[in-house]
Structures are given as structure tokens and as C-alpha cells.
Amino acid sequence: MELYSTSEQEKKRINSSFNITEEEIAEKFKLLKEWVESTPHLPLESKEQDFLQIMLLRGKFNIDQAKTKIENYFGYISRYPELYRPLGTFKPSQEIGHVVVLPKRGPNLERIIICKLSSEEDYIDIERCILTAVSSAILMYVKDYNSVCHLLVDFKGVKISHLQKLNLNNIHKLYNMYENAFKFRISSLDLIHAPHLATLIFQLSKLILKPKLISRIQIHEDLASLQKKLGKEYLTSDYGGELESVEELTKIWDKIIETEQDFFNRLRELADRSKIEDCSFGVQGSFKSLNID
């Protein structure tokens, strides 16, 4: 994950947005580490310094929230082991669904993430697209010191028939995982191409999304609108920007996924162990409306 490393200066800028001093962070980290070391059911990974620093950030430097994040991170592995076993078992460049995290951060140090299809085929295994996206999301959630994401969803090639093949039970599980274990703070959600489909999904999303996120959704009718909002320096060449194309960045993700196979193998080991030993980790939370902040 060297390409996505965070400098100490960037960490300080990210931390400053929470109105907390470095001394306070150090004290909270100490308390969190002591708690983890006194909690025997948590795996060894929970004691790693980088992991604890990121979980403290994910909990907005609230100790109780950070504890819940850690419990739920491992808890959902035992709750939904069937969803963890396929993670990381793919090569991004060979998949129809692409999820690319841009190495260049946005103006507020946010991570810009592009979700799109690589072709316009009639048949698409949409659930495999989702699981490949989850692989990248979990990797960034655990490895990337970042507090805010800016999502760009490209609907080019997406058809209603693709969405009709979704397994609602699995979608429920994945939503549960996101809401309670892998939630990223979303600063903006931009939708591009296929405006009629995007508009339909936007209207349906109002049934479950909270007003705060709905207010951050923008449907772009053309690339000029997208470029005006984000700036070309923060867009890939596919969208008229100055960065590498999605295809080029996807090849970089091939190497990242390959390099992180030990991480994914460990997830699969924990998933298999949960089936044999019934090692539940006390998952907290339930299926509910999406909470952004």
C-alpha cells in the first residue's frame, strides 16, 4: 500500500479536523491498546499499532466508538463468513466491475473513489462486481489513514436487468457490514452517465438514506459538470482529467491485491475458523437507515 501511504503531516491535517490535540490522541491510543490487550477473544491483528491508529480514527477518536469498530470488524467475519471467503480472489483488471481509489487525495485530503463497469455487456454478474468492490473497500478501511471519501459512480453500461439479478439477502448482509463495521464518511456522491437510471436509483435511495447524504448527491448530465465540481487535477483521463486512466490504475490494483494476499488469506482463515469454533465476536448494530457522520 506504499502508493497510498499517509505522511505525518497529512495525518496531522486529518486529525486536526476533529479538534483534538496530538497529546489527547496519544492518550486515547494508549487506553485503546490497553483495552485490546485485555480482551482475549480478539485476534492478534487487533493489537497491531497501525490497525489501532486507524480504528481510533474510524471511531472519530471516541474510545467507545473505536472499541465498537474493532468488535464489529472481526464480528462480521464470524457472522457472514460466506461473504469473506471470495474476497481478494480476483484480478481487478480482469473484472467487469472496477473500483479504483485514486492515489492523489482531494483538496481536503479525501480519497476519491471511482466505481464503473469496464464494458457494456448484457449479462453481468453484478454480485461479483459488488464483492470485488468490497475487497478494495475493506483493504482501504483497514490500511488507509483516511477519514473522508468522495464517491464517483459511473452508470455507463448499467442496465435495469443487471440490478434485477441482485440477491437481496446478500445486499442486506453487505449493507449491514457497511453500516456497522466498514462505514466511510462520505463527503460527496457524484453520479455520471445514464441519467434516467441514476435518477431512478436516486429516488429509490430516498427511502433508506438520510437527508444529509441525499444533500451530497449530484447527478451530472455531462463531463463538463463533473469537471467543474471536482477539477481536472483530481479526475482520471477517462473523465477529461489529468490523472492516469481507470484502466491504468486498475493494473496498479492488480499488484496491490497480489501484494496483500496474506491479508486476504488471514480473513479467510478467520472466516473458516468461525465456522469450526463458533468464535463470534459480539457484533453490535442492526440494519437501519444509513448514517453518514
Could you tell me if residue 251 is inside a domain? yes
Place 236 in a pLDDT band, splitting at 50, 70 and 90: very high
CATH number of the domain within which 242 lies: 3.40.525.10
Place of cell 448514517: 291
148-154 and 97-101 beta bridge pairing:
unpaired
Residue 286 lies in a domain: no
How many structural domains is the chain composed of? 1
Residue at 291 is within a domain:
no
> Is 16 within a domain?
yes
104-131 tens-digit pLDDT: 999 889 999 999 988 877 778 877 888 8
**139-191 residue pLDDT tens:** 999 999 999 999 999 988 887 777 777 777 877 888 788 878 888 889 999 99
In a domain, 290, yes or no: no
| Mean pLDDT across the chain | 85
Confidence (pTM): 0.85
Return the HEC string of the chain.
CHHHCCCHHHHHHHHHCCCCCHHHHHHHHHHHHHHHHCCCCCCHHHHCHHHHHHHHHHCCCCHHHHHHHHHHHHHHHHHCHHHHCCCCCCCHHHCCEEEEECCCCCCCCCEEEEEEECCCCCCCCHHHHHHHHHHHHHHHHHHCCCCEEEEEEECCCCCHHHHCCCCHHHHHHHHHHHHHCCCCEEEEEEEECCHHHHHHHHHHHCCCECHHHHCCEEEECCHHHHHHHHCHHHCEHHHCCCECCHHHHHHHHHHHHHHCHHHHHHHHHHHHHHHHHCCCCCCCCCCCCECCC
Give CA separation, 31 vs 16, 64, 283, 287, in Å.
20, 11, 21, 30
Instruction: Flag whether 288 is in a domain.
Output: no
pLDDT of residue 282: 44
Confidence label for 274 from pLDDT (cuts 50, 70 and 90): low
- Mean pLDDT, rounded, for 6-32: 95
Residue 1 has pLDDT above 90, yes or no: no
Instruction: Using alpha carbons only, give the angle 289, 147, 11 rounded to the nearest 5 degrees.
Output: 165
State the pLDDT confidence band at 73, using cuts at 50, 70 and 90.
very high
The answer to whether residue 249 sits within a structural domain is: yes
CB count, 10 Å around CB of 283? Answer: 21
Any domain includes 293: no
pLDDT digits (tens, 9 = 90+) for 203-231: 766 666 677 777 888 889 899 999 999 99
Give the domain extent around 8.
Answer: 1-280
